Amino acid sequence: MAAVTSDPAHAALGRLLALTGVEEAVGAAREACTALRWHEALRRRIPEAAAESRVRGAAASAMLEGAEPAGSQGSVPLVRELVRGAVDWQERADDPVWRVLAGAVRATSATEQIGGPQLRSPGQVLAGLHTAATGGLVAPGQVGRPRVEGEDALEWTELGPAPGVGEMHARLGLVHELVSGVTDGRLPTLLVAAVVHAEIVVARPFVLGNAIVARALERVVIRVGGLDPTGVAVPEVGHADRAGADYRGALTAYASGGSEGVRLWLLHCAEAVERAAAEGVRIADAVRAGRLG
């Protein structure tokens, strides 16, 4: 996305904010997150609600990967049991669907430990999230590091071939710049989250697991950047709404490289954050009523 990579990040994101409808959509998403922040249940029970957000987020992230185990009574209860240790996913470790689900659970759970200090070393954050997402799915030597010459990423083929190593590293450089600056208050958090999410999916720096990593990093940026400091909003659910069709279509539009495609992706992300906050409200309501899980 040349509009971002050619200039300092804050100026480039300012231009994105000026695209038709984007500033208004970002404002609506911010208002939804503010309303969630002041929910009565979150005065004393943020950790409980945030833990449930990660459960629902992991289930939605796995669903976006097509990983919904057959025979379960819904992925959310299953993920809740996995997180609590009541189900040993190793018993079905030979099932590729379960391995992807477990990766989504581990990566989403890992976001809890990432704060502002960690984001100043974005390469380490990405390596940690990829390790969590892909343990057992790729060769040990490919875990936690970007692709090298001769390696390819064979996912998200609807976006076209994965970029070569040179372009991939250029896009990763943008991701690093945006992520490491998200805590200084100069960059609009929602736009940072949206751009780093899309850039990771488009660049496909890893041989596998790029979108799980992208969604986990987006969750971190939204929380650490202060858009949803409680961590109770569920951005993965926002993207998975309507079976994820809008999500994949919006990412395809972004990958086209034109300003209209970028605009469509940003609008999708702003609307997804509104839905994420609404899911957070449902979690907070359940916490207040004592009916979680």
**Domain of 184: which CATH number?**
1.10.3290.10
**Element counts in the chain: helices (H) and strands (E):** 14, 0
**148 Cβ contact partners less than 8 Å away, ≥ 6 residues apart:** 165
Judge residue 101's burial from the number of C-beta atoms within 10 Å of its C-beta, 0-12 exposed, 13-18 middle, 19 or more buried: buried
Report, as an integer, the average pLDDT of 49-65.
Answer: 96
User: Is residue 148, in this structure, part of any structural domain at all?
Assistant: no
For residues 69 and 225, what is the distance between their CA atoms, to the nearest angstrom?
34
pLDDT at 8: 66
Query: Coil, helix or strand for 199?
Result: helix
Q: Which of 72-76, 98-102, 206-210 has the highest mean pLDDT?
A: 206-210
Is the pLDDT at 85 greater than 90? The verdict is no
CA 286/CA 53 separation, integer angstroms: 12
Give 96: exposed, middle or buried? Use CB within 10 Å, 0-12, 13-18, 19+.
exposed
How many angstroms separate the CA atoms of 23 and 288, rounded?
Answer: 33
- Rounded mean pLDDT, 76-89: 83
Whose tokens are 């945006």? That residue is 178
Model confidence band, residue 6 (pLDDT cutoffs 50, 70, 90): very low
Note whether residue 150 is domain-resident: no
Say which residue the tokens 């969590």 belong to: 132
CA distance 281 to 205: 34
Q: How confident is the model at residue 2 (pLDDT cuts 50, 70, 90)?
A: very low
> Quick check: 3 pLDDT over 50?
no
Domain that holds residue 281: 2-141+159-289
CA distance 39 to 12: 34
Would you give the DSSP letter of residue 164? Answer: P
Identify whether 166 is part of a domain: yes
Residue 178: band (very low, low, confident or very high) from pLDDT cuts 50, 70, 90: very high
Residue-level pLDDT at 239: 97
pLDDT at 185 over 90: no
For residue 26, is pLDDT > 80?
Answer: yes
**What tokens appear for 224 in the block?**
């650490």
The pLDDT value recorded for residue 135 is 78
Task: Establish if 154 belongs to a structural domain.
Answer: no
Domain tally, the chain: 1
Q: What is the pTM of this model?
A: 0.93
- Given a cut of 60, whether residue 1 has pLDDT beyond it is no
Confidence of residue 75 (pLDDT cuts 50, 70, 90): confident
Cα distances (Å, whole numbers) of residue 225 to 27, 213, 268: 15, 18, 19
Q: With CA atoms as reference, report the closest residue to 276 among 220, 239, 238.
A: 238
The answer to whether position 67 is within a domain reads yes
Residue 213 is assigned to a structural domain of this protein = yes
Q: How far apart are CA 208 and CA 130, in angstroms?
A: 9
pLDDT of residue 51: 96
Question: Is residue 66 in a domain?
Answer: yes
Is 53 or 244 the better-scoring residue by pLDDT? 53
Fill in the amino acid letter for 68: E
Higher pLDDT among residues 195 and 9, named by residue: 195
Cα first-last separation, the chain: 42
Report the C-alpha gap between 48 and 76 in whole angstroms.
15
75 vs 270: which has the higher pLDDT: 270
Which pLDDT band holds residue 70 (cuts at 50, 70, 90)?
A: low
- Residue 149: inside a domain, yes or no? no
